[in-house]
Amino acid sequence: MVISDRLAQVPDSYFAKTMGQSVEHGPLPLINMAVGIPDGETPKGIIDCFADALREPSNQKYVAFHGKDTFKQAIVDFYQRQYHVALDKEEEVCILYGTKNGLVALPSCIVNPGENVLLPDPGYTDYKAGVLLADAQPQPLVLKPPYYLPQWDQIGSDILKNTRLVYLTYPNNPTGSVATQSVFDEAVAQFKNTKTKIVHDFAYSAFGFDHKNPSILQTEGAKDLAIEVFSLSKGYNMSGFRVGFAVGNKDIIQALKKYQTHTHAGMFGALQDAATFALNHYDDFLEEQSAIFKRRRDVFETKLKDAQIPFEPMKGGIFLWLQTPPTMDGEAFVNYLLQQQSILVAPGIPFGEHGENYVRISLAIDDEALIEAAERIQTLKHLYEQQ
């Protein structure tokens, strides 16, 4: 195989291997609860805007490397409207070709070989790839139940001293935990006046069930050391569009933009127009999305509680973090659910060592399938009673 030593050290992406792959399951109809994107359609107004923008002659040519002024202004207006955060559209905004691209590229932009990067455990699987590609050192930021929040005093001073970047993500994928503003206040205070920077992955920003999810940039002084990465994929049902952006600390933003000048030649103008329309016109839709998943959360958790099946409380996002029966780890339970109940879920171990005895369940399925899946899982109560 022809592959560089650097790339060879990066594990295969779990979801790249499994997404779209055919699976063999038991006799019941398959219910796929492993998918990581909301199941609704993109709003018609956004689709219509995109269709019109396709016919615009200026969108059929190269556009400015760092994005249309209209798109950047929509981002600025959105953050002011939603979070009361002021942004400079030239210095504090970077358009991303899907947020994953930015999250994986970031270590190569600001981290030197050998420096530490703290990664949430449990946390999104592909952060680690970006760290390894930068020849940096991934270190676990262990998040413990039931709240899955950072405990900075539990990290060794030698680790912190050599840490250049910290990844945070709330609502958390995979645990469904959320952060209050005080969590971000503590993180900013922890790394103020150090060389350590923070990136907050805000992919599931729309989905907050007990309170609106705060932005890290609402914390005083956050822009001195932090950026936030926002995705249009989940809140607007636009995952296929691959559009997001990073906002915040101008030095990190400029590093990302420099990187992009060598890897991209400007986002397709019609995509930018569609994203602009979404940001400017669909605030109410974000609230509707959250309400849909809160209702699904309530239904699913009630079914689990009735059967006394243990799980971590889901406060935001689209995933529920389910404990495995005591006789199985996550991978064994995934196989058991698939063969015995025809339910496909994701094992916890790709999300970090502390996910070994969990599975991630997506609620991005219609109500009928959701209730059917919950009732099938209820029949497994006996597995949790085994010692």
CA 353 to chain CA mean position, Å: 18
Q: Express each pLDDT in 169-224 by its tens digit.
A: 999 999 999 999 999 999 999 999 999 999 999 999 999 999 999 999 999 999 99
Cα angle vertex 112, ends 110, 117, to 5°?
75
- The pLDDT value recorded for residue 256 is 96
Contact 214, 62 (CB under 8 A): no
If you average pLDDT over every residue of the chain, what do you get? Answer: 93
Regarding predicted confidence, which is higher, 160 or 20? 160
pLDDT band at 99 (very low <50, low <70, confident <90, very high): very high
- Extract the tokens encoding 22: 């055919």
| Residue closest to 121 by CA, chosen among 99, 162, 96, 154 | 154
Does residue 140 surpass a pLDDT of 80? yes
- Average pLDDT score over residue span 76-100: 96
| Residue closest to 345 by CA, chosen among 373, 371, 326 | 373
CA distance 289 to 363: 12
| Backbone φ, ψ for residue 155 (5° rounding) | -100, 130
Structural domains in the chain, sorted by start? 5-42+284-384 (3.90.1150.10), 44-282 (3.40.640.10)
| Backbone φ, ψ for residue 358 (5° rounding) | -140, 160
Strand 163-169 relative to strand 116-121, pairing? parallel
Sign of CA dihedral 150, 155, 157, 158: negative
Q: Express each pLDDT in 310-340 by its tens digit.
A: 999 999 999 999 999 999 999 999 999 999 9
CA distance 178 to 155: 21
Regarding predicted confidence, which is higher, 61 or 111? 111
pLDDT band at 354 (very low <50, low <70, confident <90, very high): very high
pLDDT band at 386 (very low <50, low <70, confident <90, very high): low
pLDDT band at 226 (very low <50, low <70, confident <90, very high): very high
